[in-house]
Amino acid sequence: MMNLDREATPRLVPELDPDFRPAVLWNRAFAQAVQACGRAQPVAVAIERDQSQVAVYETNLFPSGIKDAWDEANYFYMERLVKCLLWVKGGWKVTVGGSTQVGEALKVAYAKGGQREFDAEFMGRVYEQVFTVEIAVLSEMPQAYEKTEAVGGHLDGCRIGFDAGGSDRKVAAVMDGKVLYSDETVWHPKVTEDPDYHFEGIMDSVKRAAAHLPRVDAIGVSSAGIYINNRTMVASLFLKVPQELFDAKVKDIYPRVAKELGNVPIEVRNDGDVTALAGASSLQDTNILGIAMGTSEAVGYVDAEGSLTGWLNELSFMPVDYNPEAMVDEWSGDYGCGVKYFSQDAVIKLAPAAGIDLDENLTPAEKLKVVQDLLGKGHEGAQKIFESIGTYLGYSVAYYADFYDIKHLLILGRVTSGRGGILILEKAREVLNADFPELSKINFHLPDESDRRVGQAITAAGLTALTR
């Protein structure tokens, strides 16, 4: 597309994925070309989500209707940008101002049967609204309105923290800030249709933790997915559960757990948010982006005030690679999304190029462990896998910095266990130092092995404030 694809070639190429085209480099090349044309056209995008909150993003395009190549580049840039904004901020209504041509094209993309039908339907489910795209003149665009929320850090009383991952579930019993018990159990929620399996698994972990406490004052839950008022709106953990059973048994699965334990107070948060809160607690600082690399990519953010933003932060669906031949995410049907770069899927994806033949009968978690065991034995190909993921991370963090003010980057989760996590951060730092020196001030953190495994469950225990 124009000469931008060539300019998006990274200086540091992932050794096992030479066709990687970082979104951040393409976007920067686009912005430079727009300014160089001397006729930049201002545009804005407003994204409305729950409680009438509105996020606004302003940028520039080539003038419309002058060159086909310009129009093509404009649409590609805006289609990718709007998708990113939706998965960063969340929202059910998109308003495009300043370009009727792009606005009309996005209407088609987000309509039924359109290129972004999945995204529109997903957002509609999350916010229980009909997803819409509207066009406005710049002077009549919605005004930005967003609010934050202070959450977590409660240590008093007897608490249970539960972390629901896609490959294992973790639990911690905490009394007055002291961890009395922690455990993790392998399970397979993403391939199970019966929601009773999920409920019984959660109850098994929670009851074992409760046995180590004199009483249970509160439960905090860190769980992959999107949760509003402790209700499960959408979550890959329940991917195979039929919609009728999802509505009947999954939406209120965590409140049902709390009821089983005597109607104790409960707070449910996305596991990415809990990752960021864990970082804020351990670092005693703010502006923290936390990334949990496990079954998927879970992301959370703590702002300058130490608060959660209320954004979706579902960066597993955010495109980070603009190579159209990149691996497609089976759920969304889109290519180049974070889930294939910062999860066990990334390890499995890169294994063939590393000369590693994985048994197809193994679960994804078992395949990851095979590669990690090989890394521990000094396997060169296994090392290249984690170094390639680190290169992905460096370029993607530079893109994330367009949306988040990042002082600290914290990574944890199953993929970061052992030496792999160290290799990932080393390569990410190398990318920022080489290509984004203005971002080299970002501090990278990797919790110790124990915290990487059960740290989110422990942090989750402190989510709920007790009422006396």
pLDDT in tens, 314-372: 999 999 999 999 999 998 999 999 999 999 999 999 999 999 999 999 999 899 999 99
Q: Tell me if 392 is assigned to some domain.
A: yes
Q: What pLDDT shows up at residue 397?
A: 98
Q: What pLDDT shows up at residue 14?
A: 97
- Is the domain of 212 the same as that of 334? yes
- Is the domain of 271 the same as that of 358? yes
Please state the three-class secondary structure of 298-309 as a single string. Answer: EEEEECCCCCEC
- Is the domain of 377 the same as that of 303? yes
Q: Tell me if 118 is assigned to some domain.
A: yes
Q: Tell me if 49 is assigned to some domain.
A: yes
Q: In the chain, which stretches have pLDDT less than 70? A: 1-2, 449-455, 468
Q: Tell me if 51 is assigned to some domain.
A: yes
- Is the domain of 161 the same as that of 86? no
Structure tokens of 218? 């509160």
User: What is the 8-class DSSP label of residue 465?
Assistant: P
Q: Which residues pair with 172 in a beta bridge?
A: 161, 182
Q: What pLDDT shows up at residue 453?
A: 52
Task: Give the separation between CA 204 and CA 185, rounded to whole angstroms.
Answer: 10
Q: What pLDDT shows up at residue 152?
A: 84
Q: What pLDDT shows up at residue 60?
A: 98
- Is the domain of 135 the same as that of 284? no
Q: How far is CA 221 from the centre of its chain?
A: 17
The residue segments making up the domain with residue 185 are: 148-468
- Is the domain of 116 the same as that of 263? no
- Is the domain of 128 the same as that of 163? no
- Is the domain of 206 the same as that of 91? no
Cβ burial 446-463 (10 Å sphere, 16+ → b, else e): bbeeeebbbbbbbbbbbb
Q: What pLDDT shows up at residue 421?
A: 96
- Is the domain of 175 the same as that of 119? no
- Is the domain of 181 the same as that of 50? no
C-alpha closest to that of 312 among 85, 20, 106: 85
Q: Tell me if 27 is assigned to some domain.
A: no
User: What is the 8-class DSSP label of residue 407?
Assistant: S
C-alpha closest to that of 205 among 263, 274, 260: 260
- Domain of 305, CATH number, reads 3.30.420.40
In the sheet with 266-270, reading across from the earlier edge strand, the strands are 178-186, 168-175, 158-164, 218-223, 266-270
Q: Tell me if 11 is assigned to some domain.
A: no
Q: Tell me if 458 is assigned to some domain.
A: yes
Of 89, 124, 140, the last residue of a domain is 140
Of 93, 113, 140, the last residue of a domain is 140
Structural domains of the chain, count: 2
Q: What pLDDT shows up at residue 153?
A: 83
Q: Tell me if 119 is assigned to some domain.
A: yes
Of 97, 116, 140, the last residue of a domain is 140
Please state the pTM of the whole predicted model. 0.87
Q: Provide CB contacts within 8 A for 215, sequence distance 6+.
A: 158
Q: What pLDDT shows up at residue 48?
A: 97
Query: Distances from the Cα of 114 to the Cαs of 74, 79, 107, 288, in angstroms?
Result: 18, 12, 9, 36
Q: What pLDDT shows up at residue 95?
A: 98
The three-state secondary structure class of 173 is: strand
- Is the domain of 117 the same as that of 160? no
Task: Give the separation between CA 361 and CA 366, rounded to whole angstroms.
Answer: 9
- Is the domain of 181 the same as that of 105? no
